[in-house]
Each structure stands twice: as C-alpha cells, then as structure tokens.
Amino acid sequence: MEKIILLHELKNIVLTPKFYSSFLVITVLLLLSVFLGIRNYKDTVKQYETVTRLSNQEMRESSDWMGLNAKMHRKPDPLQIFVSGINDDIGRYSNISTFNPVKLIHSNYSDNPVYAVFRFIDFTFIVTIILSLFVIIFTYDAINGEKERGTLQLVLSNAVLRKDYIIGKITGIWLGLIVPLFIPVLLSILIVLLYRIPFAADGWLRLFLLLSASFLLYTFFIVLGILSSTLTPHSSTSFLISLSAWILFVFIIPRAGIMTAAQIIKVPGFAEIQGRESSFEKQRWEKNMNDAQERWKFRNAEMAKFPKEKRSAIRNQKMWEWMEEEDKDRKQVQIDIDNYNVKLTEDFRNNKLQQEKLGFILSSFSPVSAFQLCAMNIAGTDINLKNRYEDLLTKYRTDFNNYKEKKQKESKSPGGIRITIDSESGLKIETSREKGTLDLSGLPALHDYSYSFGQAFLSSVKSGGIIIFFIFICLGASVWKFMRFDVR
Amino acid sequence: MLKHIVEKEIRDILISTKFTVTFTICSLLIILSFYTGAKNHQLAQAKYEAGKSENLRQIEGLTDWLSVRQFRVYLPPQPLESLVSGVSNDIGRTAEISGRGEIPVEDSRFGDDPIFAIFRFLDIEFVFQIILSLFAILFAYDAINGEKEKGTLRLTFSNSIPKDIFILGKLIGSFLALVIPLLIPVLIGTLLLPLLGIQLKGDEWIRYSLIILSGFLFTGVWLSLSVFISSLTEKSSTSFLYLMVLWIFAVMIIPRLSVIVSGAAVDVPALDEMNSKKARFISQLWSEDREKISLFKPTAGDDMQTTMNELNKFMQTNADDRDKKTNEFSSRLNEERVNKENLMQKVAFTISRISPVSSYSFAVTGLAGTSVDLKSSFRKSVEDYQIEYSNFMISKTGQNPGSGMRFVISDDNDEKPKNINPGEIPEFKFRPVLSSNLISGALKDIGLLLFFNIIFFAGAFFSFRKFDVR
C-alpha cells in the first residue's frame, strides 16, 4: 500500500507544470551559481598568482636585506566555488616585515565595494534561500490540500492505515523533490570537471559531504512543509505558517542570534586593540631610545679621558661591538613588542571566541544557520579562516625574519642608512652599498596548510547533527499530528 | 463607488488571518530592526570612542612630536547607518595618517569581525526588501483571479461597476490596508531612536522620512505587480508561482548578476598590480636618493645644531621631491583605475535598475549615506586631513614627517623634556556628502520606484479590462 501511495505522490509532484517551471528555475540558478563561483575562483587564483609574482619580483629587486619585505596571499580553495563563506570579507594578503605584525588586509569587498552591495551568489545561497522556498511551495498543502479537495477522506475510506499513508506521502514527496535535483547537481560537477578545477581526492570528499548536508537541509524543509500542512485544516493558513517559519529560520534567527551575542558579550573593537599595541610599541621604543642615549653618553664619557688619537682608535675598534649591542637591544624591543601583541591578540581572540560560541549556539536554533556553518566548515571558508591564516603567516614571519637577519649578517653590510655625528669627525653618512639584486636562494617557502576531509568532517558533525535533530522533530510531529488529523 | 470598493478591500484584508499573522511578524521585525540598529549604533559608537581615546593615549608621555607615529583616524558611525547599513561594514574605517604619501584605508568591520559577515545585520532595508515584498505578494497574488475562483468577481460585476474603478479600488484598498497598519511599528521604532541615544538632526529627519517613503513605494511596486500578474492569469496558484519566480529574480538574481556582468564587461586595472608598480617606483626613487644622501656634506663646520638643521633640510627637500614624483605617478595610475571603476559601477547599477529592488536599495543607501560613495567621501576627508596634519607637524617640528627617519639631538643636561599635548593635534572631521546632494541623488531612484508603480498599475488596469470575469 505504501508503495502505491508513494508512486501516486511521485506522479502528483512530477507531472505538474509547477514542478517543471520550478525545476527549470532551480537548475538554471544552480548552474549559474557554479559557473559564477568558478569565475570568482579563477579571479582569486589570478589575484593570488599576481600578488605572489609581484612580491617575488619586488623582493628580487630589493638591494638590501634590511628593507626586504614580502606579501603573502591566502591560497584559494576550489571549494569556495560552492561556499564563499567569509572569503570575500576578510583580507586577501598580509605584509611580512620585521616591524609590523601579520594582518590580513585588502578584502575583496573593501577593495571593490560595488560587489558588496548585493554580494555574490553561491551554491549555499541557492540551497538556503531558493530551494527551501520552492520546497515550501510544494509541500505546504500536502495533507490539508488533499482534505480540501476531498481526496484524503476518499483514500482513508479504503483499508489504508494512517501510518502507511503518511509514511508513503513523505517518502513520495521526498523522492519526487530530491531525485530530480541530482540532474543539476551532476551537471554542476560536470562544469567543474570541464573547467579543470583542481579538486584533489580530499576536495571531492568534502564536496560530497557538502552535498549531503544540503540534502539534509532540503529534507528538513520538506518535513517542515508537511508538518505545517498537518497543523491546520486550511492550506492557506499552513502556507502562512510555512512562510513565517521560513522567514524565521532563514533570516531572523541567524541574525538575531549573532546580534544578541554581540550585546551580551562585548568585545573591544579592533581599533582599540591597535591603539593598545601602538601604545606599548611607543613606550618600548621610547625606552630603547633613552637607554641608547644613556649608553652613548656613558661610552663618550669613558672615552673623554683619553687623548684624541686614542679616542679615535678605540672608537674604530669598538664600533662594531657597540653596534651589535645596540642591535641586540633593538631586537629585544621587537621581541617584547611581538610578545605583547601575541598576548593581546590572544586575549582579544578568546573574548571573540566566547562571543562567537554564544552567537552560534543562539543561531543554531535555526537549521538554516546550522547548515550555513556546516557548509563553511566543510569548505574551509568558515569564521576561523582568518585566524588560521594569520597564525600560519605569523610562524612564517619568524622564519622570514630569521632568514633575513642571517643574510644581512652574511652580507656584512649594516643595512639602511647610518648617520654618525661627533664633534671630532663631524657628520658621516653611510648607506648600504648597492650590490644589484639579492640572491634569494634559501628563502623559506610558505607551506600552506591543507584543509583535510577529516578536519572538515569533524568540524561539521555538530551542525549536521542539529539539522538531523530538527528533521526528526518535524518528522515525528508530522506523523503524530496526522494520526489525530480530522480528515472530514 | 470607489470608496465602497476601497472600504471593502480594507475590511476583507483587516479581518483575515493572513493580515493578523503578517502584521504581527512585520511589526515585530520593524521594531526589532530599529532596536537592534540603535543598539548596534551604540556599540559602534562605543568602539569608535574607545579607539579614538586609545589612539590619543598612545601619544601621551611622548616628548617629541617627531615620535608621533601610527596616528589613526576613524570613520565615525553615522546615525542613519543603524537603519540602513549599506556597505558601511564592508569598507575600511581606519586610516593611519602620515605627513606624506598615499594613505591606505583599512579595517572593515566585517573583516575585523567576520562573525557579523556570515548572516549580516537586520536593518530596515532588509525588512522592506525581503519581508514586506514577500508579504505584499501574499496579499495580492490572488487579488483578481482569486475573486474569480471564489465566484465573487462575477457577482460584483453583475452590478454596474466599471472595471477601472474596481481595479483602482482594489489597489488603493490593499495598499492602504498594508501600509497604514505598518505606520504603527514604524512610529514606535522612530520613538525608540532618541530613547536609545540616536539623535537625528533636521536634515537627517528628512532623509529618514524619505527612507520610509521609499520603503512604502517599494511595497507598492510589489502590490501593483501582484495585482497585474493576478489579472494576467486564470489561476491564483499560477500567479503565485510566477510572482515567486519574479521575486527571486528581482531580489536575488538581477542585482547580483548585473554587477558580475559589468565586472566582466569593464576591465578595471587590478589593484595589486597597481600597488606593486607604486611600491617599485618608490623603491627606485629611494635607491636614487640614497646615493645623494651618502654624498651630503654640511657647510656648517663644527656647529652640531646647524649641521643637524642642514641635514634635516636636505632630507626634507629630498623627501618633498620624492613625494611629488610619487604623487604624480600614483595620480596617473589612480585616475585610470577610478575612471574604470566608476564606469563599471555605472554599468552595473544601470543594468540592475531593471529590478525595483536595486532602485530601492540605491535610494535608501544613498539617503542613509551608506552607499558605495561612503568609501570615497571617507578617503576624501582623510586626504584633506592629511594636509591639515602635515601643516600642524611642520608648525611643531619644522618638518613634514613620513619618511620614517628621526634625528635626535640631545644635550647632557638632566632636565627632563616636557611631554607633548596630544590634544593639540587637529581633530579629524569626517565630511559626509551634503544632505541636499544625497537627497537629489536618491530622487532618481525614488522616481524609478514611482515609475514601476505606475507601469504595473497601468499593466493591471489594461489587462483587467480584457479579463474574463466569468
């Protein structure tokens, strides 16, 4: 019996003009989103290659080690085609230098705010907004619509168990709406293959995981529609309920959750943190400057007791030692500043983490936000993308600065400009000698982290679980309500 | 006759469950958007003030104006930003000021706090654009064919009612039934603004009123379009499906596609390549200057102070010269990019105006001062301030800092130098686009919304004249 109901439902869905037009729209939109995602990804790859090439060129053209700086761009991930996440909101690259901490700057949206006006369309957007809306249009009258047409009473007047009927109905609708979706999904994968997007085995597995999560969300909206159709005898009312629930889950809860968290846990602004960093940096450099002055005063006082020739000889003899001493102190200042910044950043991040955690807990009352978080975790375009990259680049900065220092020592050039003034020899300016371009062999390479399937899976389990929980709740409620539904 | 139809329409709508549900949801959302907007504004204002005072605090205790580095200015949050955020969270809000050179504007709110970028904010623009447009469809998708399905249309026209009066009454009735009740939450929200610390000035009240008016005009567009589609189709289920597809395309697809299409059509020079060219040019100039610096010989003899002054002057002249050449080079590159960017933006916005959603969005973000122009007006204010700052620094130190060099002459007396007073630094004033310009800029889009209303109404009017009421 279930099979007959299932087939009947399948026929009811698939053979309607509503289905054809919706299916066409969904197919076009899904393919369009993938096509635009590919275009966007290719642009990002181009940006990445350009910044890397230009940074290498700038480094090669540098003539002294002291002024050597690098630019490190975030490596694009092909999964961003499907889930752009926060990819366009956070900075694309960071400068790597001795004195400035790592910071991702120049986000796509801040550089090109015209794209920020309406933002991009991606697969997740289509799933969360368009597909969910269409599912509601197909399911809001699944039960009460049959009652209004009088077919429900007719069916149940035969020897059909209510349990069999509702299970057959749900399965039929589910199959009728899920199976056709495989066509645009497979076509999307075909486009990815045709454009030769470099998906590794891991990438394919993550894509499979993403598609599974999308089907879960899709299933949730199917059972939500069926549930609302069992809640009231009128299809117009159940449509209102479904639409309100859709608005609540898609637009309100996710935003309200994050905004509530922002009100409950207050995190200092980045400008304030920057100000504190600068404040410490200034104090430390000021101290270094004063200490240096004291040291030079002491050295000069020590030399003052000798005749002029001896003074000059001592100065020539000890200059390198003094410079080393000054350099050591300067390095210590930089280490102190870096350590202070690390501590400040850590506190800032911990504070933010609390806020994020609360925000995500509150927004997880909506399976849509659970899906969005799940999708971003799978694609690696999640909230931690910025921290992951900044940590990676901070480690790289240490290697880069060590390399620079080693090379500068080997070059035996003081680097930069050194100006000395004393009452005996007057003003003396030394600039590092121009030696053509630098030999950058041995320059440490940035080993990009690989976001593995395992990481993606583990970080998405919780969100996936939330969606499954919502599915079971709605499913259970639909069956329970239908068992008590007045079919007359 | 018209009055009767309008009254009947209003009554039908007001007593329906549909109205009760949608009105409750809309009211809650509107009040919530005002409340959260005001709260966010408070938070942004607090962060702005904290950043500003921390920025001044880092200067406290310094004894030499030349030690002032990393002096930053911030884009202050604007009151209307709390209601229509536009791109205000996407663009850089901080600029590190130096006496010379190009000043990058960095640190967007979404970049610093990506948690807010995931789901974005709930503002008035969003409520009108997504929720009210959907509810307008819900109210009017069966305005004509629904009556036919119920058989009431035939009944109505069995009396001597002209078709044009009927359709006009339908439209006016549904518009009033939707808009007038919504004025209540809007008024409550408006009252909440000053209570939550958002004080609007005279011109801002005018802009705010126009934002609300644009919202209602936009709702009117969806109402008249729904009536139009309802009079074109026989079945209400068909008109609903058509309207949903149109809604998806108008709200989600056309605006986004237009930007992508124009991005592909207009080749804007890549910013990274441009920045690299500038960096290499500066590096080349610096290499040339290093040669000159090493050859510098003071004429002053033994006098330390005069030697330092001479060196400072020499370095200043070199830096000014470098600055001039760099500015000329950068201006050429920037001009080309800005022109292309403007062209791309113009093409994108023109195409996207096919959708009333874009017109609405441009009108309200323009009125709130959070359109894409916010970036350029902040940049302009920063550039103006740079001149003010550099003049101040010259008056304090005799030189324009920015080259990264600092020459210190100290004598052996133990007298502690006095601390500088950070309060003397001229205050940064953000100069937003004048209200009159914002209003005149938005009028074009408000006019377009009006045009869409008229077009769809005319469409509904003419198609209903041919509508078979049987």
Alpha carbon of B453 to those of A134, B223, B227, B457: distances in Å?
Answer: 27, 9, 11, 6
Q: Count helices and strands (H / E) in chain B.
A: 17, 3
How many CB pairs lie under 8 A apart between chains A and B? Answer: 286
Backbone φ and ψ for A172, nearest 5 degrees, come out as -60, -50
Closest listed residue to residue A73, CA positions, set A98, A57, A53, A97: A53
Interchain proximity A293–B408, CB inside 8 Å: yes
A390 within 8 A of A349, measured Cβ to Cβ: no
Sign of CA dihedral B140, B141, B146, B147: positive
Task: Determine contact: B43 vs chain A, CB below 8 A.
Answer: yes
- Determine the pLDDT at residue A374: 94
Burial class (CB in 10 A: 0-12, 13-18, 19+), B38: buried
**Strand order across the B92-97 sheet:** B71-74, B92-97, B105-108
List, in sequence order, the alpha helices (H) in B233-303: 236-247, 254-265, 271-294
In B, residues 345-364, which contact A (CB 8 Å cutoff)?
345, 348, 352, 358, 361
- Determine the pLDDT at residue B19: 87
CA angle B11-B12-B14, nearest 5°? 60
Beta bridge partners of A427: A421
Question: Alpha-carbon distance A434 to A329, whole Å?
Answer: 27
Token output for A323: 């410079």
Q: Shortest CB distance from A255 goes to which of B120, B298, B365?
A: B120
Sign of CA dihedral A300, A302, A303, A305: positive
Interchain proximity B57–A279, CB inside 8 Å: yes
Q: Shortest CB distance from A129 goes to which of B241, B252, B361?
A: B252
Look at residue A232 and tell me if it is in a domain: yes
The 3-state DSSP class for residue A211 equals helix
A375 within 8 A of A208, measured Cβ to Cβ: no
Question: Alpha-carbon distance A113 to B111, whole Å?
Answer: 13
Contacts of B43 in chain A (CB under 8 A): 262-263, 266
**Residue of chain B whose alpha carbon sits nearest to that of A124:** B118
Buried b (16+ CB within 10 A) or exposed e, A314-342: ebeeeeeeeeeeeeeeeeebbebbbebbe
Look at residue A313 and tell me if it is in a domain: no
In B, residues 178-217, which contact A (CB 8 Å cutoff)?
none
Residue A153 CB coordination number (10 Å): 13
Most confident option among B3-12, B71-80, B397-406:
B71-80
Look at residue A228 and tell me if it is in a domain: yes
Closest listed residue to residue B80, CA positions, set B180, B215, B188, B206: B206
Q: For residues B156-169, give the mean pLDDT.
A: 84
In B, residues 294-353, which contact A (CB 8 Å cutoff)?
294, 296-298, 301-302, 304, 307-308, 311, 341, 344-345, 348, 352
Closest listed residue to residue A119, CA positions, set B399, B173, B276, B361: B361
Interchain proximity A431–B116, CB inside 8 Å: no
Do β-strands A105-107 and A417-422 pair in parallel, antiparallel, or remain unpaired?
unpaired
Interchain proximity A251–B94, CB inside 8 Å: no
Buried b (16+ CB within 10 A) or exposed e, A438-448: beeeebeebee
The 3-state DSSP class for residue A162 equals helix
List, in sequence order, the alpha helices (H) in A62-83: none
- Determine the pLDDT at residue B2: 80
Interchain proximity B272–A54, CB inside 8 Å: yes
Closest listed residue to residue B294, CA positions, set A204, A136, A417: A417
B356 within 8 A of B452, measured Cβ to Cβ: yes
**Residue of chain A whose alpha carbon sits nearest to that of B241:** A18
Token output for B204: 């801002």
Interchain proximity A417–B293, CB inside 8 Å: yes
Question: Alpha-carbon distance B467 to A16, whole Å?
Answer: 25
Contacts of A292 in chain B (CB under 8 A): none
Beta bridge partners of A141: none
Look at residue A70 and tell me if it is in a domain: yes
Per DSSP (E only), the strands in A21-135 are 70-73, 91-96, 105-107
pTM given for the model: 0.86
Q: How many domains, in total, are found in chain A?
A: 1
In B, residues 224-253, which contact A (CB 8 Å cutoff)?
237-238, 240-241, 244-245, 248, 252-253
B369 within 8 A of B137, measured Cβ to Cβ: no
Question: Alpha-carbon distance A49 to A43, whole Å?
Answer: 10
Interchain proximity B72–A90, CB inside 8 Å: no
Å between A152 CA and nearest CA of chain B:
20
Alpha carbon of A326 to those of A87, A293, A453, B281: distances in Å?
Answer: 43, 10, 49, 32
Question: Alpha-carbon distance A279 to B256, whole Å?
Answer: 43
Look at residue A332 and tell me if it is in a domain: no
Å between A64 CA and nearest CA of chain B:
10
Which pLDDT tens digit goes with each residue over A8-25?
778 877 778 878 888 888
Task: Determine contact: B256 vs chain A, CB below 8 A.
Answer: yes
Alpha carbon of B400 to those of A415, B318, B388, B389, B408: distances in Å?
Answer: 24, 12, 11, 9, 15
Look at residue A300 and tell me if it is in a domain: no
In B, residues 123-152, which contact A (CB 8 Å cutoff)?
126, 130-131, 134, 138
Residue A253 CB coordination number (10 Å): 20
Question: Alpha-carbon distance A464 to B463, whole Å?
Answer: 49
Do β-strands A426-431 and A417-422 pair in parallel, antiparallel, or remain unpaired?
antiparallel
Question: Alpha-carbon distance B29 to B35, whole Å?
Answer: 10
Backbone φ and ψ for B238, nearest 5 degrees, come out as -70, -45
Residue A99 CB coordination number (10 Å): 12
Give chain A's radius of gyration (CA, Å).
Answer: 32
**Strand order across the A105-107 sheet:** A70-73, A91-96, A105-107
Look at residue A470 and tell me if it is in a domain: yes
Look at residue A352 and tell me if it is in a domain: no
**Residue of chain A whose alpha carbon sits nearest to that of B250:** A118
One-letter amino acid of B31? I
Question: Alpha-carbon distance A415 to A431, whole Å?
Answer: 7
Q: For residues B94-114, give the mean pLDDT.
A: 88
Alpha carbon of A314 to those of A60, A199, A322, A441, B73: distances in Å?
Answer: 38, 66, 11, 38, 48
Burial class (CB in 10 A: 0-12, 13-18, 19+), A224: buried
Question: Alpha-carbon distance A430 to A324, whole Å?
Answer: 17
Residue carrying the six token digits 């299932």:
A6
Q: For residues B101-105, give the mean pLDDT.
A: 86
Residue ranges making up the domain that contains A406: 1-264+369-488
ipTM of this complex prediction, to 2 decimal places:
0.85
Q: Is the pLDDT of residue B460 over 60?
A: yes
Task: Determine contact: B169 vs chain A, CB below 8 A.
Answer: no
Do β-strands B105-108 and B92-97 pair in parallel, antiparallel, or remain unpaired?
antiparallel
Residue pLDDT tens, chain A, 488 long: 667 777 877 887 777 887 888 888 889 989 999 998 998 899 899 888 888 888 888 887 777 787 788 889 999 999 999 999 999 999 999 999 888 889 999 899 998 888 888 888 889 989 998 899 889 988 998 899 888 888 888 888 887 888 888 888 888 888 888 888 899 999 999 999 999 998 888 999 999 999 999 999 999 999 999 999 999 988 888 988 998 899 899 988 998 899 889 888 888 887 788 888 888 888 888 888 888 888 888 888 888 888 878 888 887 788 878 888 888 888 888 888 888 888 888 888 888 899 999 999 999 899 999 999 999 999 999 999 998 999 999 999 989 988 988 888 787 666 666 677 666 666 777 666 555 677 788 888 888 777 888 888 998 999 999 999 999 999 999 999 998 888 77
Interchain proximity A114–B113, CB inside 8 Å: no
Task: Determine contact: B281 vs chain A, CB below 8 A.
Answer: no
Backbone φ and ψ for A241, nearest 5 degrees, come out as -65, -45
Q: Shortest CB distance from A355 goes to which of B115, B131, B276?
A: B115
- State what percent of residues in chain B have pLDDT above 90: 38
Which secondary-structure segment (H or E) carries B106?
Answer: strand B105-108
Q: Shortest CB distance from A120 goes to which of B256, B345, B371?
A: B256
B131 within 8 A of A251, measured Cβ to Cβ: yes
In B, residues 378-417, which contact A (CB 8 Å cutoff)?
405, 407-408, 410, 412
Burial class (CB in 10 A: 0-12, 13-18, 19+), B426: exposed
Q: Is the pLDDT of residue B67 over 90?
A: no
B41 within 8 A of B396, measured Cβ to Cβ: no
Mutate to test the interface with B, among A66, A114, A130, A424 (most CBs of B within 10 A): A114
